[in-house]
Amino acid sequence: MFMGLKYFIWTVAVLLTKESSQSTISGVTGGSVILPCSSTGHEIKPQDCNVYWRHNDTKKVCDIVKGEVLVAQQYSGRAEPFPEEYGSRNFSIKLLSLKQTDSGLFSCFITPTDEYKSIELIVVHREPQKETTTTIYDTTINDTTINVKEESSPSHMVWIAIGIFILMLVVVAIVYLCKNCFKKAPVPEFSVVMNLDEEH
């Protein structure tokens, strides 16, 4: 009875930790994403950590062994770690020029701490020349997805810039016109002051 309860608690704990260590990231074809992976093993020096990134748990993506980076041929030029982050045990990688076949499970295994983290990547197809459809990415609101969205729609920024520019033109035009309208009003006051000065 007691052992049964213990086992139940253990199973629940495993399920909970498994769920929290699994995250979903989405990107668009041709875009890029950062796949996060950090070690919490503070008793190990960062330079002694070896990191093995895999796709669907079997296909090699990228290894970081003794600080050396080895990228698999399929990911040549498309997987980049952040060497400046190794010191903080951050072994995240950036995946560039995303393809739809990159979808699936990415896992990072760190030795000698034996830490395992998996990230589900969803690559949504994007037409090369079409305007971006933002509705798809809104389903998972995350820092990463927001970054992807901003990177993928530079045309929005252009339209905002044009809008601000037109607004400024209108404001300048109004200010200019109003100056002309009110110019005549203060003139008599000035002459009164001038006259007073002359009398002294």
Ligand X SMILES: *[C@@H]1O[C@H](CO)[C@@H](O)[C@H](O)[C@H]1NC(C)=O
**Contacting positions for ligand X (CB under 6 A):** 23-24, 34, 36, 38, 55-56, 59, 82, 85, 90, 92, 101, 103-104, 140, 142-143
Nearer to ligand X, 38 or 118 (CB): 38
Nearer to ligand X, 34 or 110 (CB): 34
Q: Least CB distance from residue 38 to ligand X, whole Å?
A: 5
Q: Least CB distance from residue 29 to ligand X, whole Å?
A: 14
Q: Least CB distance from residue 140 to ligand X, whole Å?
A: 5
Other beta carbons within 10 Å of 104: 14
* Chain CA centroid to CA 89, Å: 20
Nearer to ligand X, 8 or 22 (CB): 22
Q: Least CB distance from residue 143 to ligand X, whole Å?
A: 6
State which amino acid sits at residue 67. Answer: G
* Chain CA centroid to CA 114, Å: 27
- Tokens 């560039």 identify what position? 96
For 29, the token pair is 């074809």
d(CA 80, CA 71): 8
> CB-based burial of residue 200 (10 Å sphere; 0-12 exposed, 13-18 middle, 19+ buried)?
exposed
Nearer to ligand X, 36 or 46 (CB): 36
